């Protein structure tokens, strides 16, 4: 079977569609895996003996490694070839999934989750780069990006549904092990379907990679530590104190390095920077909602993992359905209008969730704000991706893709950590719903800030 050369106009459409499906299957796994174990956390804690503080690292280990290393992963994809980076990263991700599914101790599970995140960080940026480079014209690029956005935007909530089904009927371990056969098939197929892109050998910016990763990790860990140990904890303060020096050194390094990890010229575009800010804030609020609400379903409403996962089905279905129409809306109204509107809808939905109490019913109190939230998210993901990726040269496709996905992952991890911190300060022990109003109102305010930032994007 001959490989599909990137940009080969003679390749059969069925072959091209299969190649696109194969690459997006990996993206679906990466998008799902941050939260796929969330509904299973109580059973993981029981089976492996996690204490409450360390249990959060089942989520945070993956998120920190994925988000912190994405920029490096994007650069390595440009340097070594996108297909090679994709295959190596996916192999590491599959290995981490296998080790996590077989783990017998908390340390082994957290280590496996970190390994998963490292693999996803290497392979993830190559997904969008390959989607863009395989397209023969602007129409195919738009279609490929639309599919990429749809898969990415529904991935987290779809992961909760799949995680609930597997936890309920098989075992929480299969929330991780399911990646092994699927990932193996993708690894076998990708080399036969897509030929390697042209590598761009360069001297790796080691200092830039270290400072970007350490700065990102320190920022997220500071919020995580604040939620677990308080804002005055030594670890919290040291983490926040390290953030500015790390990022300052990163910027200084990138300006002087002949072959930087990130070409800072990509950040001179005001609309791109605004798109990054809006995407980070709204993804953060989206992930924090998923994180807080699934616990409400299980701890207050008494749902099983399966029912808690299925409770997100209206969200997943709505986002997927609306994402189909968003490209046409972008052409008609422009990214700025959609980003501002979507951010406002997310703010309204979170304000609605702030009304949740200990005796509310799903259809009466949850469904309507959940649907409003779904529409808002659908109106943010595609326009945000367009604003960030628009005008990026092909030679920087991997780095820009890494920047986009780093923005989403770090934004998601920060959102969960920040809203959890607000919740922890205001919750009464033993009454989970007591801290939700303040936490969700905080999220609504952050979403309003995102809407204001969206208005600074160029019209059109």
Q: Say which residues have a Cβ less than 8 Å from residue 54's Cβ, sequence separation at least 6.
A: 106, 110
Predicted pLDDT at 52: 65
Predicted pLDDT at 137: 74
Protein fold of 13-194+259-454: Growth Hormone; Chain: A; (1.20.1250)
Q: Where are the domains of the chain?
A: 13-194+259-454, 204-258
Positions of the chain with pLDDT under 70: 1-13, 52-53, 394-395, 397-398, 460
- d(Cα 251, Cα 67) in Å, to the nearest integer? 18
The single-letter DSSP state of residue 197 is: P
Structure tokens at 237: 């303060």
The number of angstroms, rounded, from the C-alpha of 101 to the middle of its chain's C-alpha atoms is 21
Q: Say which residues have a Cβ less than 8 Å from residue 238's Cβ, sequence separation at least 6.
A: none
Stated pTM of the model = 0.85
The single-letter DSSP state of residue 136 is: S
Residue closest to 381 by CA, chosen among 174, 148, 195, 172: 148
Determine contact, residues 350/441, Cβ cutoff 8 Å. Answer: yes
The number of angstroms, rounded, from the C-alpha of 80 to the middle of its chain's C-alpha atoms is 24
Determine contact, residues 188/94, Cβ cutoff 8 Å. Answer: no
Q: Count the helices and strands in the chain (H runs, E runs).
A: 19, 0
Determine contact, residues 342/282, Cβ cutoff 8 Å. Answer: yes
- d(Cα 268, Cα 273) in Å, to the nearest integer? 8
- d(Cα 269, Cα 450) in Å, to the nearest integer? 18
Predicted pLDDT at 390: 79
- d(Cα 448, Cα 454) in Å, to the nearest integer? 10
Determine contact, residues 408/280, Cβ cutoff 8 Å. Answer: yes
Within 10 A of 261 (CB to CB), how many other CB atoms are there? 27
- d(Cα 318, Cα 178) in Å, to the nearest integer? 25
Q: What would you report as the CA-atom Rg of the chain, rounded to the nearest whole angstrom? A: 21
Predicted pLDDT at 13: 66
Predicted pLDDT at 370: 97
- State pLDDT tens for residues 209-263: 889 889 988 887 887 788 777 788 898 999 999 999 999 999 999 888 887 878 8
């Amino acid at each position: 079977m001959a490989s599909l050369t990137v940009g080969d106009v003679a390749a059969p459409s069925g072959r091209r569609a299969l190649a696109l499906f194969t690459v997006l299957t990996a993206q679906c796994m990466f998008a799902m895996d941050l939260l796929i174990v969330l509904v299973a956390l109580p059973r993981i804690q029981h089976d492996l003996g996690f204490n409450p503080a360390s249990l959060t690292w089942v989520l945070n280990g993956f998120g920190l490694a994925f988000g912190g290393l994405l920029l490096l992963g994007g650069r390595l994809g440009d340097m070594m070839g996108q297909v090679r980076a994709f295959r190596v990263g996916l192999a590491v991700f599959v290995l981490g999934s296998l080790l996590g599914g077989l783990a017998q101790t908390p340390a082994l599970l957290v280590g496996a989750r970190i390994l998963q995140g490292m693999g996803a960080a290497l392979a993830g940026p190559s997904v969008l780069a390959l989607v863009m480079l395989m397209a023969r014209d602007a129409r195919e690029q738009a279609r490929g990006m639309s599919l990429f956005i749809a898969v990415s935007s529904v991935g987290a909530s779809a992961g909760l549904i799949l995680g609930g089904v597997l936890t309920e009927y098989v075992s929480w371990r299969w929330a991780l092990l399911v990646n092994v056969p699927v990932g193996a098939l993708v690894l076998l197929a990708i080399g036969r379907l897509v030929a390697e892109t042209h590598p761009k050998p360069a001297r790796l910016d080691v200092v830039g990679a270290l400072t970007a990763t350490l700065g990102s990790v320190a920022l997220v860990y500071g919020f995580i530590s604040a939620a677990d140990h308080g804002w005055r904890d030594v670890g919290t303060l040291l983490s926040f104190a390290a953030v500015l020096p790390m990022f300052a050194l990163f910027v200084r390094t990138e300006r002087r390095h002949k072959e930087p990890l990130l070409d800072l010229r990509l950040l001179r575009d005001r609309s791109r920077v605004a798109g990054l800010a809006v995407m980070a804030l709204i993804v953060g609020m989206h992930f924090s909602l998923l994180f807080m609400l699934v616990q409400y379903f299980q701890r207050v409403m008494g749902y099983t993992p399966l029912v808690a996962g299925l409770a997100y089905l209206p969200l997943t279905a709505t986002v997927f359905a609306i994402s189909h129409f968003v490209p046409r809306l972008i052409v008609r109204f422009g990214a700025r209008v959609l980003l501002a509107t979507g951010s406002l809808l997310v703010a309204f939905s979170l304000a609605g969730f702030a009304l949740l109490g200990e005796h509310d019913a799903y259809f009466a109190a949850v469904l309507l704000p959940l649907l409003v939230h779904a529409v808002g998210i659908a109106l943010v993901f595609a326009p945000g991706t367009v604003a960030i990726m628009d005008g990026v040269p092909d030679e920087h496709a991997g780095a820009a893709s890494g920047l986009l996905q780093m923005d989403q992952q770090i934004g998601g991890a920060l959102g969960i950590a920040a809203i959890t911190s607000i919740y922890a300060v205001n919750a009464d022990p033993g009454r989970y719903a007591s801290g939700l109003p303040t936490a969700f109102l905080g999220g609504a305010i952050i979403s309003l800030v995102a809407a204001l930032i969206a208005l600074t994007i160029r019209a059109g």
